[in-house]
Amino acid sequence: MACTVEGIPRSHGFRMPGEFEPHRGCWMLWPERRDNWRLGAKPAEQAFTEVASAIARFEPVTMGVSAGRFRQACACLPPEVRVVEMSCNDSWMRDVGPTFVVNDSGGLRLVDWQFNAWGGLNGGLYFPWDQDCLVACKVGEIEAVDRYRAPLVLEGGAIHVDGDGTLITTEQCLLNPNRNPGLDRREIEELLREYLDVRTVIWLGQGVFNDETDGHVDNLCCFVRPGVVALSWTEDRSDPQYPISTDALKRLETATDARGRRLQVHKIHQPDPVLISREECLGVDRVEGTLPRREGDRLAASYINFYIANGAVIAPQFGDARDPAALAALAGLFPDREVVGVYAREILLGGGNIHCITQQQPLGGTRREGRAG
């Protein structure tokens, strides 16, 4: 059995590793909501199966599935994907799952954040979210990993770390009054330091235009390795994304990380605007309290929302003319990994992308040379 650990990870020698560090495997959740995924979630299930299959070529994948969908998910997924029964309100493992932390002697624990469905009753995306709140704990029980309960509303997609003391996030999300209204920037930074063992927090402003998560950083910018980030970009000055990306660029170029390095920023041009079609929005069940899908609404499409697996990068594709350039850019940034594109429009229609539906479980910590205490 796993237990709840009193105290804070930093003082016990635990830190959140970068996603590019070695993994034990990847966790996902099967699409659940008919008021989020169109056509009874059939197209989404196909897309989730493609993502799981792509990742499973490189590391073990576990899919959590609610009881009612269990047999059907088993029939869809390839045998190399482990399927476990796990209730959830929907399928966003990045946000409802644990954040794993490691220490230098092979220990692994997890941080179980507070979750309020991206804003609770003040702009949240659905109600209720009681089952989502149990997911991190259930993952810990299955893996026998002890957990810290963090007194902070935070989704995994709201942060990226370099594993070397630096975290990036957005003001739009983490300072949003619908997450932690009682905490100011300094108090939030202190909790991030304590629970993830980071020393430097780099604040970007807004997330990707129209991102319904209130601007998760994982759709805008991520670490490729310490000192190097990728940023979603547009050259179109009339696009509402332009001021967002230029502001982020300015902040990244003037920031220094926890080791005093200047960041190298690589721009990856976004696809042309992706809009919801009439047919797509008609396929979604309308339920009061869930963010409605409307014809013509722009989706927050970005190539940054990729998953880094052992030896691979699994990247979203949109059927856009810029898809090949994005894959080539990622191949240049990750020369030692295979870059695998997965057509991800169906995931985007649900409000996120590949990074949002995955959560890495790192290998237990290994001693890394040169790491400052």
Give catalytic residues, as residue numbers.
Answer: 356
Binding piece for ligand KQY, criterion CB under 6 A, among 42-50, 73-81, 209-217, 267-275? 209-217
Q: By CB under 6 A, how many residues form the interface with ligand KQY?
A: 14
Contacts of 246 (CB under 8 A, 6+ apart): none
> Rule CB under 6 A: is residue 92 a binding residue for ligand KQY?
yes
Amino acid at 251: R
Task: Enter the tokens of residue 30.
Answer: 């099967």
Name which of 108 and 159 has its Cβ closer to ligand KQY: 159
- Site residues for ligand KQY, 257-296, by CB under 6 A, read 291
Alpha carbons 154 and 124: distance in angstroms, whole number: 13
> Rule CB under 6 A: is residue 86 a binding residue for ligand KQY?
no
Of 18, 36, 202, 358, the one binding ligand KQY (CB under 6 A) is 36
Name which of 17 and 157 has its Cβ closer to ligand KQY: 157
Binding piece for ligand KQY, criterion CB under 6 A, among 46-54, 212-220, 244-252, 255-263? 212-220
Nearest approach, Cβ of residue 132 and ligand KQY (Å): 10
Residue ranges of E strands in the chain: 23-29, 61-65, 81-85, 99-102, 108-114, 147-153, 160-161, 166-170, 200-204, 221-225, 228-233, 264-269, 274-275, 298-299, 307-309, 312-317, 338-343, 359-362
Name which of 213 and 317 has its Cβ closer to ligand KQY: 213
> Rule CB under 6 A: is residue 213 a binding residue for ligand KQY?
yes
On whether the CB atoms of residues 357 and 42 are closer than 8 A, the answer is no
Name which of 59 and 297 has its Cβ closer to ligand KQY: 297
Dihedral sign for Cα atoms in the order 166, 326, 315, 95: positive
Looking only at the bridges linking them, the beta strands covering 274-275 and 298-299 are antiparallel
Binding piece for ligand KQY, criterion CB under 6 A, among 18-26, 80-88, 146-154, 208-216? 208-216
Contacts of 201 (CB under 8 A, 6+ apart): 166, 167, 168, 169, 189, 192, 193
Total length of the chain: 373
Amino acid at 342: V
Looking only at the bridges linking them, the beta strands covering 221-225 and 228-233 are antiparallel
Nearest approach, Cβ of residue 220 and ligand KQY (Å): 12
x/- track of binding to ligand KQY for residues 93-132 (CB under 6 A): -xx-----------------------------x-------
Of 124, 333, 356, 361, the one binding ligand KQY (CB under 6 A) is 356
> Rule CB under 6 A: is residue 172 a binding residue for ligand KQY?
no
Of 25, 97, 341, 352, the one binding ligand KQY (CB under 6 A) is 352
Nearest approach, Cβ of residue 21 and ligand KQY (Å): 21
State the residue for tokens 């993502």.
51
Classify 221 as helix, strand or coil.
strand
Binding piece for ligand KQY, criterion CB under 6 A, among 62-70, 88-96, 139-147, 201-209? 88-96
Alpha carbons 42 and 135: distance in angstroms, whole number: 23
Q: Which positions lie near ligand KQY, rule CB under 6 A?
A: 36, 92, 94-95, 125, 157, 212-213, 216, 291, 350-352, 356
